[in-house]
Chains A and B, each alone.
Chain A
Amino acid sequence: MSDLLELLVSATASGCVYGLVALAYLLVLRPTGVVNFASGEWAMMGAFAAYVLAGMLEVPTVVAIPGAVLVLAVIGWATEWFTVRPLVERGAGHLAPILALLGMLVIYHQATLLVFGGENYPLDGPFGFNRVELGPFAGTSQSFFIIVMTAVIFVAVWLFFERTVWGKSFEAVAINRRAAALMGINLRLVTALSFAGGAAVAAMAGLLDGPRGSVEVNAALPFAVQGFSALIIGGINRVEGAILGGIILAFAEDLTRRYVPIPSGLALGVTPVLLIAFLLVRPTGLLRAKEAG
């Protein structure tokens, strides 16, 4: 039983990372309708930004974390400004921004590879990896830190969308861009903020996950795949769906590896199987979009 509870803590932390990447997808997808597969690169770059600040420049963690998030927010903003906006304003088709962002994915990846090489870099967590026991639940301090930080981020984003006029303007753009524009909502600003926010949240995923293993360029693809799968599982229209999907995915992966009597290599199939199953059976995900009004 103690094995299971310890595993659940670890899986919840993994699910939180998936959920944050899913949220990064969702923040861009909702107001723009654009699936940004570069979200995984943003997460990887967030980890590198934290490594540069905390590992190389030896900036204190309390500064390095917001610093890395800010760097990625600026990158997200710039991506929208230079890549997506010109296409939208020239009336390019719906597919054009998605393809442009795929191009950006390659640029992000190769640029990071050029600067940092294929090496793995260590990133220290703010509280280390001491064993922490909360009642029957045991895990590392980094796992609990990931869970707490993710909870704070999701509550903040949920409150933003549900309780603020700015959040409602995002919702309005998501429902009907043209009507929102006619109502005086600044579409450019909403779109730019959605990219900046998406990149910032992805950066959090990367820098929270980095201390568990290491920081490396190749981490981007798993982030992108697991985050997208979590988004599909939880539902593409609800903030709560992103974290729900992330945790379900992580539980499915870890519990399969631990308890299902198949070679652990085959457990790799859990993510694609779940993704395909949801796309076939429930493409809207577990949580459906709220009714307008």
Chain B
Amino acid sequence: MGIARTMIGAGLRVLGVAGLATGVMAGAANAADTIKIGVITDKTGNARFYAEPVLQGIMLATKIANANGGVLGKKIELLIEDDSNKPDVSASKAQKLIDAGVVAIISNSSSTATQQAQNTTIKTLIPQVTHNGSDTLTRKLDNKCFFQIGPLGSIQIRTLMAYARSKKLKTASLVTDNSALGQILAKYFKIGLEKSGVKVTVEEVIPAGSKSALPQMQKVRAAKTDAIFVAGVLARENTLFFRAYRQLGLKQPIMGSFNLSIPTFLRTAKGLMEGVTFIDAMDPAKPEAQAFIAAYQKEFGKKPFSLPAYGWDDMNFLIQAIKRAGSTDKAKLCAALQGSTGWAGALGAKGTAYDFSKGRAGFNPQGAVVRVIKNNDHGPVVHSGTK
């Protein structure tokens, strides 16, 4: 039965992807009558964890748009390029897509790769959209046609700190791993906590390749802090953290970064994360999120996590702008993207919408949410916004 289930599940997944691909490529036969949109994604590098579910959302949004008649009477044709999360490759892939005649590019890779691709897109002012949350992407270059729709890292941290303040914490332990992102997150967590008047009394690192987190967590237990903040991003090391937390009978609340929204943790640390709160960008109570969830469930037969919603919003953000522009002319499309204020996507807390009137990073600062793990699943929103 087990193998049969596995095989059927794998088959359905293949069929699902094949179905999506059919919808996405529907216009390929009449390429002249299609609107080409490029996607630079990571299929083989170390960011593919995040990139693959996001790509699923991009393809789903494209399929649905095409099924509804396309945009401006034309089908959307996706041209997908793999950059392996390498900045130099990302730049050359951007050029390749521009040469192929795309009207816009979605960057679905790391911030460094996205930044490098921007060095190419800025030369032709081809619209580039990303959900990447790095705060510097719209600051390093004055690229009038580059837009960010995901929650910036600073918004995520401020939201988590607002939640921490609501809990009236006085002391906290900070646990991370030795990955570059884990270290950066820990640094910003510490700054944010101290600004919020929370004293970080213990800082522990669980290095990659560790066999146990017991020594570090014994120190955390001894410190008796009000809460534990997890900034680590490595799945294995975070699992060791949760295992040691349970083994030592710790009771302090755990608050984590957006990385805990990756479903991998629900499998590797199954049953260990009950009550853990984490930053997320999707509020299941928001009508636009519910529409996305329904579409995803219809396509794949299962409930989505937030990552595919990033891709869904990437594509729908472009589609609504093309419709409003009434053209795929890049200058008109850039203007329409910049004027997308008030458009609500699947991402963001209930009642929030994108606002590009103040800049090219349009995620509403009050849109990030804190969710809680319930029944080994991403549960309801327990806090939203930075206030």
Contact = CB atoms under 8 A, between A and B. Distances in A.
B235 interface: yes
Interface stretch (B31-39, B205-213, B299-307, B330-338): B205-213
B178 interface: yes
A243 B243 CA distance: 25
Contact of B49 (A118, A257, A263): A118
Contacts of A250: 211
A122 B270 contact: yes
A268 B270 CA distance: 28
A250 B178 CA distance: 19
B259 to A, nearest CB: 12
A122 to B, nearest CB: 5
27 contacts: A3-B218, A6-B218, A7-B214, A11-B212, A57-B3, A58-B2, A58-B3, A119-B49, A120-B235, A120-B268, A140-B247, A212-B211, A212-B212, A213-B211, A213-B239, A214-B268, A219-B209, A219-B236, A222-B208, A254-B212, A254-B215, A258-B216, A258-B219, A264-B203, A264-B204, A265-B205, A267-B207
Contacts of B210: 213
**Lowest 9 A-B CB distances belong to which pairs?**
A222-B209, A58-B2, A258-B215, A257-B215, A14-B211, A265-B205, A120-B235, A214-B268, A213-B236
Interface string A248-277: 001000110110000111011000000000
A84 B340 CA distance: 64
Contacts of A267: 207
A6 B248 CA distance: 10
A18 B247 CA distance: 22
A117 B45 CA distance: 10
A292 to B, nearest CB: 37
Contact of B239 (A10, A13, A14, A214): A214
Contact of A10 (B3, B204, B208, B212): B212
A145 interface: no
Contact of A56 (B6, B208, B215, B216): B6
B207 A265 contact: yes
Given A6-B214, A118-B46, A119-B49, 20 more contacts: A3-B222, A6-B218, A7-B214, A14-B211, A17-B211, A58-B2, A118-B48, A120-B236, A129-B247, A212-B211, A212-B212, A213-B211, A213-B240, A218-B236, A250-B211, A257-B215, A258-B216, A263-B205, A264-B203, A265-B205
Interface in B211-260: 211-212, 214-216, 218-219, 222, 235-237, 239-240, 243, 246-247
A10 B214 contact: yes
Interface string B247-289: 1000000000000000010011010000000000000000000
A264 B216 contact: yes
Given A258-B218, A263-B203, A265-B205, A14 B236 contact: no
Contacts of B49: 118-119
A265 B231 CA distance: 14
Interface of A: 3, 6-7, 10-11, 13-14, 17-18, 56-58, 117-122, 129, 131, 140, 209, 212-214, 216, 218-219, 221-223, 225-226, 250, 254-255, 257-258, 263-265, 267-268
B6 A254 contact: no
Contacts of A216: 235-236
Interface residues of B, number: 36
A117 B48 contact: yes
B107 to A, nearest CB: 20
Contacts of B204: 264
Contact of B209 (A117, A129, A212, A226): A226
A212 B6 contact: no
B243 A129 contact: yes
Contact of A212 (B205, B243, B267): B243
A57 B3 CA distance: 5
A118 B49 CA distance: 7
A23 B214 CA distance: 25
Contacts of B203: 263-264
A223 B210 CA distance: 10
A182 B270 CA distance: 57
Nearest to A213: B236
A173 B364 CA distance: 71
Interface string B312-349: 00000000000000000000000000000000000000
A121 B235 CA distance: 9
Contacts of B264: 119-120
Contacts of A58: 1-3
Contacts of A11: 212
A6 B213 CA distance: 12
B211 A57 contact: no
A6 B216 CA distance: 13
A218 B210 CA distance: 12
A83 B149 CA distance: 52
Contact of B268 (A213, A257, A264): A213
Interface in B1-43: 1-3, 6
A14 B310 CA distance: 40
